[in-house]
A and B are shown apart, each in its own frame.
Chain A
Amino acid sequence: EVQLVESGGDLVQPGGSLRLSCAASGFTFRTYWMHWVRQAPGKGLVWVSRINSEGSSTTYADSVKGRFTISRDNAKNTLYLQMNSLRVEDAAVYYCAREVAVGESWEFFDSWGQGTLVTVSS
């Protein structure tokens, strides 16, 4: 069974840093691209970042570019999101999600973690 378990969410002051982790099990982690998606309280889903299977290519939403860093340790089956210079507007539940690609690059998120809550407040 595919499992993704996020951790690391916490209350942090504006300008602070936090590192989120996503522990993967039940599948060959090193062969999948992975993403972070966030959801502010009572709001919709917003894509944050993605990393390829080797960890050599990353992409970010403009809102977090230069402040967040996605990475992975395939030996530990773990995905990370380092978040620096946190802003009030970064407060959200952060989900990690597994990307599956079929056919002519139809890509979708077939598995999600349960989410970890990041609160940014003074």
Chain B
Amino acid sequence: DIQMTQSPSSLSASVGDRVTITCRASQSISTYLNWYQQKPGKAPDLLIYAASSLQSGVPSRFSGSGSGTDFTLTISSLQPEDFATYYCQQNYNAPITFGQGTRLDIK
């Protein structure tokens, strides 16, 4: 199975900050990488697919980049509603696997 490792596991930041979350795959996955946001008690929401494509309706302050084994999710200017847990997910090989999550808290 492909292992997905996110860093950091948790992060404290302030409204207006620029934040970057990293996801590393245990082998090359080209750009078969998606990002989700999950708020407490809610289902995940898709943010980014194919490493860098913004899902319809997602604010442009979210962006994704990377290919191969290293990927990043960037939030350009944190808003109050962005405090949540973020997961990367690969669909290059079965089984689909997720990163362990990055919890983004208010500083």
Chain B residues lying within 8 Å of A46, measured Cβ to Cβ, are 98
A115 near B55: Cβ-Cβ < 8 Å: no
Main secondary structure of the interface of A (DSSP, over half): strand
Stretch at the interface among B18-26, B67-75, B76-84, B89-97: B89-97
Interface bin, chain A: 20 to 34
B11 located at the interface, meaning its Cβ lies under 8 Å from any Cβ of chain A in the complex: no
Interface size on B, residues (CB 8 A): 25
Q: Mark A35-62, 1 if CB is under 8 A from B, else 0.
A: 1000000001111001000000001011
Instruction: Indicate whether A45 sits within 8 Å of B50 (C-beta atoms), given known contacts A106-B31, A107-B91, A108-B34.
Output: no
In the complex, the answer to whether A47 meets B97 with C-beta atoms within 8 Å is yes
Query: What's the minimum C-beta distance from A52 to chain B, rounded to whole angstroms?
Result: 13
Contact between B46 and A108 (Cβ–Cβ < 8 Å)? yes
| Residues in chain B within 8 A of chain A (CB atoms) | 31-32, 34, 36, 38, 42-46, 49-50, 53, 55, 87, 89, 91, 94-101
